[in-house]
Structure 1
Amino acid sequence: MRLEGEALLLRVFLGESDRYEGRPLYEAIVLEARRRGLSGATVLKGFMGFGAHSRIHTAKILQLSEDLPVVVEIVDTEEKIQAFLPVLDGMVREGLVTLEKVRVLLYRSR
């Protein structure tokens, strides 16, 4: 079975070492999104990147970084994502949040 519709994609760009209340920030965001009933969340770890401070973070062996880039992606209805944004305001001290409208094709077994 395939479901289609419009949704909003929330991306949170942060560092692997960012913390919230003693745990990794990416983990805190995913757990809070789950607690609030959002459809799902995925955490992606980058191999290389730079942010606002233009400092390169890389996984190269000779340049080990303990703060690799991390992206949390959440797709849900616009209403649920908009309701989640104030929660992020209280969790993210430094990072980037992007929103984009997406068309969802969801496959589920009958």
Structure 2
Amino acid sequence: MALDGMSARLTIHLSASAVWHHKPAYAEIVHRARRQGLAGASVFHGFEGYGIHLTIHHDKPSRLRAHGPCAVVVVDTEDRLRAFLGALEDILSVNGVAVLDRVEVHLPAPG
């Protein structure tokens, strides 16, 4: 599904070490997004961050996949992302926090 113009971005912040049914929670979110046919999803691993407990989490670049903060970013229409957010309640009740914001998508002109 290609998007152009006004869309929305769902960003889920969680620890890279968060696990959902014996696999990384971020991977489960990406696979669910794919199954729902959403336009795109990416995982970004961070070097340092903190959350609700105000504890600084940081890691060396060589260990980012196992520890430290990460964010899953999903882009699609706002209504599809709101529906998807409802389907993530099981994961979000244990791991992470989600932010939904409107964005403008710019795609290159064909040619």
Q: TM-score w.r.t. structure 2 length?
A: 0.85
How far the C-alpha of 1:108 sits from its partner, in A, is 6.6
CA distance in 1, matches of 2:32, 2:109: 25
The aligned runs of 1:5-44 (5 Å cut-off) are 5-44=5-44
CA distance in 1, matches of 2:22, 2:81: 25
State, as a whole percentage, how many aligned pairs show the same letter. 38
Deviations 1:46-73 (A, max 9, x none): 0001111111111249xx8853000000
Bigger proportion of residues as strand: 1
Which sections of structure 2, spanning at least 5 residues, go unmatched?
none
Which sections of structure 1, spanning at least 5 residues, go unmatched?
none
Which of the two has higher C-alpha Rg?
1
| Range with greater deviation from structure 2 (92-101 or 45-54) | 92-101
**Matched AA of 1:102:** V
Instruction: Give me the CA root mean square deviation.
Output: 2.1
Deviations 1:23-62 (A, max 9, x none): 100000000100110011010000001111111111249x
Deviations 1:56-102 (A, max 9, x none): 111249xx885300000011011210110111111221321101100
Contact 2:20 2:91 in 1 (8 A): yes
CA distance in 2, matches of 1:60, 1:4: 37
Aligned residue pairs, count: 106
Counterpart of 1:85 in 2: which secondary structure? helix
Q: TM-score w.r.t. structure 1 length?
A: 0.86
CA distance in 1, matches of 2:109, 2:47: 32
CA distance in 2, matches of 1:90, 1:60: 30
CA distance in 2, matches of 1:6, 1:36: 20
The aligned runs of 1:42-61 (5 Å cut-off) are 42-60=42-60
**Matched AA of 2:56:** I
